A = this chain, B = another copy of it.
Amino acid sequence: MVDYNKIISDYSPDENERKKLENISSEVTDKINLICRNENIDASPVEVGSVSKKTNLKCSDIDIFIIFDRKYSKDFIERKGLEIGHKILKNGVEKYAEHPYVSGTIENVKVDIVPAFKIKSGERIVSTVDRTPLHTAYVNDNTDKNKIRDILLLKIFMKTVHVYGSEVSRSGFSGYLCELLIINYGTFDNVIKKFANLKGKLIVPEDQSLEKKFDEPVIIIDPVDPTRNAGAAVSIENLSRMEIASKLLISGIDVFNSENSKINKINRGTIMRVFVLNKPDIIDDIIYPQAVRLKNKIWEIMDKNGFMPLSWEIDIENDIEVLIEHERNVIPTVSVHRGPPAESNESIKFINVWKNNKRLLRGPYILGDRLYVDIKNKYTEFEDVFNNKIKNIDIGKNLNEFKDNIKIVNVNENTSMNVVNKFYSKSLFND
């Protein structure tokens, strides 16, 4: 049997860390209160995030929101939010979600100070962060000691199988989704049973009429806004991973302590290329979808032109690295080009177009009810085709400017790159 208590104590903050976080929180909220009073601003601090819900794992951040009255303008709260943030976090830097906010550290703990509008449950939000304090309140109102324990366990489990985290490159389950799952199903074991036996979409609460309302594979209705699918960002891969991980746990495998997969660089008899671009100074959540778009475009060029793409991997930790494995580097000189049916009015035109064309290798001839010609391909090497095609392709707003500087690395056994290691170590629970 897996010892859940040991796992929780291994991953949870100890009494010292807990106290320290509490003290930092109090200090920050006190300071915000003081500033608001002094400046006569109708706003107050609210701690949100996992620490405020006691569902934090070790080394968690502290998130303090400054909740402004709706009478203020967006401009005002953004300006004032940054101002207060900088006053409190001496080493703070400005970051951008939908609002700008200040992120810094106090005693080595990361602290974010984020301005938001005060809204009530069901009220229209200005920015998605406005909803966060409502989430915190909902979770606090609906959890007890046992549920908090099981939320921690579920978070640890999801971290172990690499499905935890709402960043776009992960597309996993957020902390809030873990909380909603435990609130809805009661216990960790029930959640695991649910995933292990799931067929089709995950729908919470279990109302089949929701299946058609939302396209996504995970549908978890946000209790503070029932029109919103809080699970929209979870990918089908991560749902599948949870299904497999849950089946394994139930079958008696200690998924919590499974070995990391090894990098196994066996020759695959294929061609592997990494397309490398400099990473612009923009948050990963914006860069990642563009890297995926780039991958799709290169894949399409390979596929349409006979270079036979087989598999891929993306890493954006340092550079943008798009690995595509493909089966052929050189295509035949000849392409079989299908023409119109013999009976069609275009058939004689097709014959006349091709019969003296300098690219013609054979034909026109007839197969079945159609005309064909064998023609000479203009380019037969991948890099020639790629250079010719990439010019006219949109690879995403922030990457287009780097298009002429795509470096192509031909992977061999000595190539040491993040994306190559990721490729070779691909297993059930990493991606």
Contacts and interface: CB of A to CB of B under 8 A. Distances in A.
A7 B111 CA distance: 98
Given A310-B332, A343-B199, A366 B267 contact: no
Interface string A58-80: 00000000000000000000000
Given A243-B342, A247-B347, A270-B333, 19 more contacts: A199-B343, A217-B369, A236-B368, A239-B342, A240-B342, A240-B370, A243-B347, A244-B342, A244-B371, A248-B348, A248-B351, A264-B362, A266-B333, A268-B374, A269-B332, A270-B332, A311-B336, A327-B332, A365-B426
A198 interface: yes
A222 interface: no
A240 B336 contact: no
Interface string A367-380: 11111001000001
A332 B268 contact: yes
Q: 3 closest A-B pairs (Cβ-Cβ)?
A: A269-B333, A240-B342, A269-B332
A241 interface: yes
A386 interface: no
A226 interface: no
Interface in A355-392: 361-371, 374, 380
A146 interface: no
Contacts of A217: 369
A237 B270 contact: no
Contact of A365 (B328, B361, B427): B427
B363 A244 contact: no
B366 A241 contact: yes
A429 to B, nearest CB: 9
Interface string A290-324: 00000000000000000000110000000000000
Contacts of A243: 342-343, 347
Copies in the complex: 2
Contact of A237 (B266, B366, B424): B366
Given A236-B369, A244-B366, A343-B240, A348 B269 contact: no
A5 interface: no
Contact of A240 (B251, B328, B332, B369): B369
A188 to B, nearest CB: 20
Contacts of A266: 333, 361-362
Nearest to A312: B367
A233 interface: no
Contact of A428 (B247, B251, B336, B366): B366
A46 interface: no
Contact of A268 (B241, B269, B342, B361): B361
Nearest to A246: B342
Contact of A244 (B264, B331, B351): B351
Contact of A424 (B239, B244, B311, B362): B362
A347 B270 CA distance: 28
A265 to B, nearest CB: 10
Contacts of A198: 343
A311 B366 CA distance: 12
A248 B371 CA distance: 14
Nearest to A367: B237
A270 B334 contact: yes
A198 B327 CA distance: 44
Contacts of A380: 269
Contacts of A333: 266-270
B428 A365 contact: yes
A8 to B, nearest CB: 26
15 contacts: A198-B343, A199-B343, A217-B369, A237-B368, A240-B343, A240-B366, A244-B351, A268-B361, A268-B374, A269-B333, A310-B332, A310-B336, A311-B336, A327-B332, A365-B427
